[in-house]
Amino acid sequence: MNKLEELYDKYCALEDKKNVDGNSKEALEAIKQSGDALKYISNPSEQVYLEAVKKDGYALQYINNPSEQVYLEAVKQNGYASKYISNPSEQVCLEAVKQNGNALQYISNPSEQVCLEAVKQNGNALRYISNPSEQVCLEAVKQDGYALQYINNPSEQVCLEAVKQREGALQYTPSHMFDSMISSLPDSLKLLSPSKTIRELAEKNNKECV
């Protein structure tokens, strides 16, 4: 029997037993193989909880009244585990979006710092922010220029940073600053002068927004 088959047999045995003692060595070993095994363990210890979410953040859904440390370890493993947390602390929110910026969608009323960390990890997390600050917008487009599409009335500086990151972001630039923005680009990027296609896309997008 190879190692994979051995682990699978242990997991199946645990499933058959159902209510395994949460303080047993057997429980801890099972959790280290699969966080999902938590649902078959009765009265798990804090150590078992921690091992479970370190293995799989989604194991958080099987825990009643988890500690702050368990929350933190869960979102460090998988930012999306934050969807199982009501009223997460600022630190939990920060760790969640650092792991996956899109975890921001599960956070109500995120702070400015949480928003910043989210877009630094994934610029497109900007879509989950209402009325983002200039700084958040700048960080978002620096990470992914195409995040410009989620910004209403972007400043020229934001547009410039977006195009520096991705030339194709020109298509999301407001028409009234399209040409002046290009003239502000460094010489190295002016060599990437916008094609007719990109200009046409920009004009089309602006018309659709009117």
CA atoms in the 13 A half-sphere facing the CB of 105: 9
Mean pLDDT of the chain: 81
**Whole-number pLDDT of residue 187:** 60
Beta strand spans in the chain (E) = 20-21, 41-42
**Whole-number pLDDT of residue 197:** 46
**Whole-number pLDDT of residue 12:** 55
User: Which helix (H) or strand (E) covers residue 142, if one does?
Assistant: helix 134-143
**Whole-number pLDDT of residue 173:** 86
CA 23 to CA 186: how far, in whole Å?
63
**Whole-number pLDDT of residue 181:** 66
171 pLDDT tier (thresholds 50, 70, 90): confident
Dihedral class, residue 61 (left if φ above 0, else alpha if ψ from -120 to 50, else beta):
alpha
**Whole-number pLDDT of residue 202:** 53
Which has the minimum average pLDDT: 66-70, 72-76, 79-83, 195-199? 195-199
pLDDT surpasses 90 at 92: yes
Side chain identity, residue 73: E
pLDDT surpasses 80 at 194: no
75-80: long-range contacts, CB 8 A cutoff, minimum separation 24: 75/99, 75/103, 77/53, 79/103, 80/106
**Percent of the chain scored above 70 by pLDDT?**
70
Backbone angles phi, psi at 21, to 5 degrees: -60, 125
**Whole-number pLDDT of residue 5:** 42
pLDDT surpasses 70 at 135: yes
